[in-house]
């Protein structure tokens, strides 16, 4: 299928809807007391618009859908805006670590943001705020389900199902009718099972309940036609009068009837090729444990077997399920065979394990956990100094500590003019010159500004840098002779252009370079995009142009490696912004 082109008009309509939601919520919001809990991609842009109106709002966002891998996400034309929207929340939640990992990777690769884990929480530092990433799948409403289980209609339907399929093992699938549920693949696996296991013909039935499609279109019609065609083929090949291997129930079904099927099924199969969570196995587990099972003797422990696609959000929480790749029809057929042959004791242990998790991690537990973590994530909001930046989807806040005071250019100018003896220390990379430039040499404007500062006899001006002294001397040769330079983190100092370089004499030898150099070269050769900067007093491994994930991993390994081999040398190994550096002890 061809991909859909990006439609700017639809995107602007999406933003307009999100704006209207934010305006309405803002009318009702008390930012000091209220928590704003935003659900799913329909309101993806909402945090940005509400944050713009209420910078201290306490916002949590939960994405119920899968977050795509960074390779896919990076293809979206408005990828930066969408990431910043989630980062304008205080807490971002996902069903699984896989989805959170894709989000973290996108933040790293698109925005250059790193994350860290502390005391079980993952945080992204974003303009002075720590955006917390939470991983917890949504549970089911136990109270609502328990209200349906004992109903007479449920019991009657369960007895009807037991009579209809008596003597046969019942496998159950319950899915929305759409492209991603893998219904056709599930039926193909059933066909493969009956092909390979002739003894199962007449002994097993797959009931597939298709919920009404959430949207209509040619895709849904094609899926339905495919499912019915496979059903008819299987029933024609392996069925006979009184036995249909595959039963498809298409359309809406009363809740008590669906619960009766959950209760009666020996095996539950969820075969989606991609799904956000899919709570069908959770419903099935509770129904098997607490529902009316006509075939289960009173007092006997309940049993169940679950086959679940590895590409659905509930899979990690169901450690007793048989996990399958839904695209591999043979794999799914083998899983069906394994579940059908599973011993009663094994089914009992798996049921107990799943029920213990599902019953203690219901929707109430999920909501309370999210509420508590959102309050923790926002605990400093009221005390922060907030500065607003950007417009539209580029809006963000910069959060500063309560003691922060913004420098006023007027006050700085006044203090400058009233002072008769001034020391001006200017960091080079990132201050005098912006980060990210290929040409690191100072611009004409920088040279001109430095000359103007040096021309005032009341100023002593120094450029401070970790760069080598020869490089800095060459770059600043056009500057006023009064300009001082502090190179290699202060190891070398030149007080004026015509004065000699002075060193602090902290170390007597640099033999350690013969040890560190080959180690750095090994990691540089193994890490595409990295390189080594050799200085008189230090060695620096740069990885800003390497893959961010691999580069960061390699940096940690390199730092550990260097610390081990240089343990007895008069140096220290430190990591900085996309660098690993070895310096003599005593330098900053």
Question: DSSP assignment of 368-432, as one string?
Answer: HHHHHHHHHHTTTGGGSEEEEE-SGGG-EEEEE-TT--PPPHHHHHHHHHH-SSEEEEEETBTTT
Q: Which helix (H) or strand (E) holds 148?
A: helix 142-148
In the prediction, which pLDDT does 320 show?
Answer: 95
CB 50 within 8 Å of CB 367? no
Rounded to 10 degrees, what is the CA torsion of 183, 185, 191, 196? -140
Residue 304: the pLDDT is: 96
Specify the pTM.
Answer: 0.82
441 SS3 class: coil
For the 513-584 domain, the top CATH level (class) is alpha beta
Q: What is the pLDDT of residue 311?
A: 94
Q: Per-residue b/e over 306-345, b at no fewer than 16 CB within 10 Å?
A: bbbbebbbbbbbbebbbbbbbeebeebbbbbbebbebeee
Model pLDDT, residue 588: 58
**Pairing, β 305-309 against β 58-63:** unpaired
Q: What DSSP string runs through 306-362? A: EEEETTBTTGGG-TTSEEE-TT-HHHHHHHHHHHHH--HHHHHHHHHHHHHHHHHS-
The closest alpha carbon to 47, from 26, 68, 30, belongs to 26
CATH topology assigned to domain 8-138+367-400: Rossmann fold (3.40.50)
> Which pLDDT score, from 0 to 100, does residue 490 have?
84
Q: 231 vs 41, 62, 173, 187, CA distance in Å?
A: 35, 38, 13, 7
pLDDT tens sequence across 455-512: 999 999 999 998 888 999 999 999 989 999 999 888 889 999 889 998 876 666 788 9
The residues spanned by each domain of the chain are 8-138+367-400, 144-357, 409-490, 513-584
pLDDT at residue 576, rounded to an integer: 87
- The token pair at 357 is 């998790």
Buried b (16+ CB within 10 A) or exposed e, 9-24: eebeebbeebbebbee
pLDDT of residue 255: 96
Q: What is the pLDDT of residue 531?
A: 94
Residue-level pLDDT at 272? 96
Q: Are 8-138+367-400 and 144-357 equal in CATH topology?
A: yes
Ranges of residues in the chain with a pLDDT under 50 are: 1
Q: So what CATH class is 144-357? A: alpha beta
Residue in the structure block whose two tokens are 């129904």: 287
pLDDT value for 45: 97
Contacts of 272 (CB under 8 A, 6+ apart): 175, 180, 181, 182, 278, 309, 311, 312, 326
């Amino acid at each position: 299928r061809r991909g859909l082109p990006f439609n700017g008009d639809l995107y602007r309509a999406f933003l307009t809807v999100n704006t209207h939601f934010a305006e309405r919520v803002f009318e009702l919001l008390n930012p000091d007391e209220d928590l704003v809990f935003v659900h799913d991609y329909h309101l993806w842009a909402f945090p940005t618009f509400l944050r713009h109106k209420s910078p201290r709002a306490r916002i949590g966002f939960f994405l119920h859908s899968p977050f795509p891998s960074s390779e896919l996400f990076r293809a979206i034309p408005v990828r930066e805006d969408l990431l910043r929207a989630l980062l304008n929340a205080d807490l971002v939640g996902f069903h699984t670590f896989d989805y959170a990992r894709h989000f973290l990777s996108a933040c790293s690769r698109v925005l250059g943001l790193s994350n860290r884990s502390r005391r079980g929480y993952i945080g992204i530092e974003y303009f002075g705020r720590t955006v917390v990433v939470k991983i917890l799948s949504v549970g089911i409403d136990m109270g609502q389900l328990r209200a349906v289980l004992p109903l007479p209609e449920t019991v009657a339907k369960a007895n009807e199902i037991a009579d209809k399929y008596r003597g046969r093992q019942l496998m159950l699938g319950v899915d929305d009718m759409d492209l991603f549920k893998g219904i056709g693949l599930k039926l193909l696996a059933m066909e493969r099972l009956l092909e390979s296991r002739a003894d199962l013909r007449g002994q097993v039935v797959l009931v597939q309940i298709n919920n009404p499609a959430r949207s209509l279109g040619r895709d849904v019609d094609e899926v339905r036609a495919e499912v019915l065609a496979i059903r008819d083929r299987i029933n024609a090949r392996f069925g006979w009068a009184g036995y249909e291997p595959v039963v498809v129930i298409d359309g809406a079904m009363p809740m008590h009837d669906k619960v009766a099927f959950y209760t009666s099924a020996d095996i539950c199969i969820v075969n989606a090729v991609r799904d956000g969570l899919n709570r069908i196995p959770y419903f099935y587990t509770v129904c098997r444990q607490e529902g009316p099972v006509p075939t289960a003797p009173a007092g006997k422990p309940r049993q169940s077997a679950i086959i679940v696609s590895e590409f659905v959000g509930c899979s990690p929480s169901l450690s007793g399920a048989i996990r399958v790749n839904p695209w591999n029809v043979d794999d799914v057929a083998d899983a069906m065979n394994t579940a059908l042959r599973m011993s009663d004791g094994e089914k009992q242990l798996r049921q107990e394990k799943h029920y213990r998790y599902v019953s203690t991690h219901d929707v109430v537990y999920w909501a309370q956990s999210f509420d508590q973590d959102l309050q923790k994530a926002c605990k400093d909001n009221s005390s922060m100094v907030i500065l607003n930046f950007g417009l539209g989807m580029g809006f963000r806040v910069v959060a500063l500590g309560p003691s922060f005071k913004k420098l006023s250019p007027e006050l700085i100018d006044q203090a400058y003019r009233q002072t008769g003896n001034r020391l001006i220390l200017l960091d080079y990379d990132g201050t005098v010159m912006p980060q990210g430039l290929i040409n690191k040499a100072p611009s004409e404007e920088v040279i001109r500004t430095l000359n103007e500062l040096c021309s005032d006899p009341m100023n002593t001006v120094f450029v401070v840098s970790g760069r080598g002294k020869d490089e800095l001397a060459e770059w600043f040769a056009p500057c006023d002779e009064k300009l001082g330079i502090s190179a290699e983190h202060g190891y070398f100092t030149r007080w004026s252009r015509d004065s000699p370089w002075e060193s602090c004499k902290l170390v007597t030898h640099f033999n350690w370079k013969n040890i560190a150099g080959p180690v750095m070269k090994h990691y540089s050769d193994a890490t595409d995009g990295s390189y080594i900067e050799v200085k008189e007093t230090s060695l620096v491994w740069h990885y800003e142009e390497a893959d961010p994930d691999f580069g960061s991993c390699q940096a940690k390994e390199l730092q550990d490696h260097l610390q081990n081999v240089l343990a007895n040398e008069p140096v220290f190994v430190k990591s900085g912004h996309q660098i690993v550096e070895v310096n003599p002890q005593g330098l900053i």
